Amino acid sequence: MSLMFQRYLAVATLLFMSGCSTTPGLLEKSPEVFDSDKAPQALAICLSEIWTNRNKDVRVNPMPDGQRVLLNNPVLHAPIAIVEVREKGVGAEARFWKTAGPTGWTRDDLQSCL
């Protein structure tokens, strides 16, 4: 096998294992929904701090009715997880999407912030 073919194979394997997806593609799936007693902004800050402390590429974008926290894979330029936080009564609702692959820690991080 040539070195070039081995590199392409490695990249293809990484894409497959990461569950590579675009943000719109990921948002087309049904989210998991979590409720929190925290204010939406406090929940978004908690999650973004945890992911930032993991040395991850995190972006918080305002939405008309809340905030979207995006965790991106800087190598593949694709999302790992997305959380949309909206006000719900006294607390917040967090809608959670994640890619396939070994990303269960993203859910654990969200649950620790609830």
pLDDT of residue 103: 87
Instruction: Decide if 73 contacts 55 (C-beta within 8 A).
Output: no
- Residue 109 CA to residue 114 CA, distance in Å, equals 9
The whole-number pLDDT of residue 16 equals 44
Tell me, what's the pLDDT at 2? 62
The pLDDT, as a whole number, for residue 106 is 95
What angle is formed at CA 107 by the lines to CA 9 and CA 105, rounded to 5 degrees?
55
Looking at residue 12, its pLDDT comes to: 47
pLDDT digits (tens, 9 = 90+) for 53-97: 988 899 999 999 899 999 998 887 889 999 999 999 899 999 999
The token pair at 27 is: 């948002």
Radius of gyration of the chain (CA): 16
Q: Are strands 78-88 and 32-36 parallel, antiparallel or unpaired?
A: unpaired
C-alpha span between 98 and 96 (Å, rounded): 7
- Tell me which of 110 and 16 has the higher pLDDT: 110
Could you give the 3-state DSSP secondary structure of residue 5?
Answer: helix
pLDDT digits (tens, 9 = 90+) for 5-55: 556 545 544 444 444 456 777 888 899 999 999 999 999 999 999 999 988
CATH number among 3.40.30.10, 1.20.1080.10, 3.30.310.240, 3.50.50.60, domain 19-113: 3.30.310.240
